[in-house]
């Protein structure tokens, strides 16, 4: 397993989850609720499969 170096954590990422709430008349709707914000190593993924 590779060790993780804090200098490689180059992006701040916020994770959300969906929750279902109900209006006063009982009809449901969906909202996004923030779970946590963390630093992570992120890099672009190319759609080109040429390597």
Q: Give the model confidence (pLDDT) of 7-40 as tens digits.
A: 788 899 999 999 999 999 999 999 999 999 999 9
- Identify the CA nearest to 40 among candidates 7, 2, 3, 1: 7
Identify the pLDDT of residue 51. 52
pTM above 0.85, yes or no: no
> What are the residue boundaries of the structural domains of the chain, listed by start?
8-40
Per-residue tokens: 13: 């990422």
DSSP for 21-36 reads: EE-TTS-EEEEEEEEE
Using 50, 70 and 90 to split pLDDT, how confident is the model at 43?
A: confident
Is the model's pLDDT at 3 over the cut of 80?
no
- Identify the CA nearest to 38 among candidates 12, 3, 20, 10: 12
Per-residue tokens: 3: 């060790």
């Amino acid at each position: 397993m590779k060790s993780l170096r804090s200098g490689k954590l180059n992006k701040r990422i916020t994770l959300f989850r969906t929750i279902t709430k109900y209006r006063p008349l009982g009809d449901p709707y969906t909202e996004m609720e923030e779970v946590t914000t963390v630093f992570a190593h992120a890099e672009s993924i190319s759609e080109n499969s040429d390597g």
